A and B are shown apart, each in its own frame.
Chain A
């Protein structure tokens, strides 16, 4: 299963990706894990709250480096 995580993390080369995808297609348990872990990756990336710093902080930084 750790190979499936590496696959979804983009850590495998093309050849290893293709080989593993072939194996996953033939293994229902692997396919289920692949689908579930894909859902994990997608939901965490899309749903975890993101905070932006806003322009004020960037302007403060610009002012600070100009003053150095």
Chain B
């Protein structure tokens, strides 16, 4: 007996609505943290969805739509915003990243921060510290710790090897913890090594 699939065949617009649009808020959040500007974030999200819609034929229903959209958005950001040199740290961090990624998997020291210090922090403090990180470091934290992508998905989204995802994430978290530790110390928390 032949089993006939009961799943309805969706047209392009229906697929867009059911598979892509549910990720709009997550994409906007990512775009906002990348640009730190609501208008730019809006433009980036619109461009991402329009591009995705144009290339819907390449999308297979049920596959990782969220990762696909994030990859499109990240590429759009690089192409259209980074080139405008809107990021004041642009000159320095490319060198830092090249140098620090070279440290990949050498078992660098993990920067630690006491859990009670974290638990006592407000969201604003963590958000500001995160947004101050160089863009490539901020990106891996957003993708892993905010959006919950796997290392493999992050590697595909930002076009770097998985080992580099690990090392960059390690560096990024150290930088964030260091920044928060300095902030905590300035606010009177006892230093703890």
Chain A residues in the interface with B (C-beta under 8 A): 1-2, 4-6, 9-11, 32-33, 35-53, 57-58, 60-62, 64-66, 68
Contacts and interface: CB of A to CB of B under 8 A. Distances in A.
Interface string B28-70: 1100110000100110011001100100000000000000000
Given A39-B119, A65-B16, 5 more contacts: A2-B107, A32-B112, A36-B118, A51-B28, A51-B33
Contacts of A37: 110, 112
Query: Interface residues of A: mostly helix, strand, loop or mixed?
Result: helix
A36 B112 contact: yes
Query: Interface residues of B: mostly helix, strand, loop or mixed?
Result: helix
A53 B45 contact: yes
A33 B114 CA distance: 8
Contact of B113 (A6, A10, A36): A36
Contact of B115 (A2, A38, A46, A66): A38
B151 A11 contact: yes
A51 B166 CA distance: 26
Given A9-B151, A40-B177, A47-B121, A53 B28 contact: yes
Contacts of A6: 166
